[in-house]
Amino acid sequence: MKCPICKNNMVSILYGMPSSEAIEKAERQELFIGGCMIMNDNPKYHCYKCQKSFSKDLKSSIDENDDWIKTDVPQFLKSDDNKK
């Protein structure tokens, strides 16, 4: 997942109690720990470079000129399509 601002790779945000493995990953900036607060419109991705988190709302606003929404389609759907 690429950041729409700096095009750096974003990491997914983990909510709830992080495991020790998750904390290690967060230290390597492989994921971002969002904490235990789970709200309706929690952001899904975090950019460590911009220090910003992004939610689905942003996704819909950039899908016109960016192709990252296409990568969101499950792979098995595409391969199933190819067989026909």
Residues near Zn ion (CB under 5 A): 3, 5-6, 8, 47, 49-50
Smallest gap from Cβ 5 to Zn ion, in A, equals 4
- Which C-beta is closer to Zn ion: that of 28 or that of 84? 28
3 state DSSP class of 13: strand
DSSP string, 49-80: TTTEEE-HHHHHHHTTT-STTGGGS-HHHHHH
For residue 53, CA distances in Å to 27, 35, 47, 75, 80 come to: 17, 13, 6, 25, 33
Smallest gap from Cβ 46 to Zn ion, in A, equals 9
- Which C-beta is closer to Zn ion: that of 8 or that of 12? 8
Smallest gap from Cβ 59 to Zn ion, in A, equals 14
- Which C-beta is closer to Zn ion: that of 7 or that of 78? 7
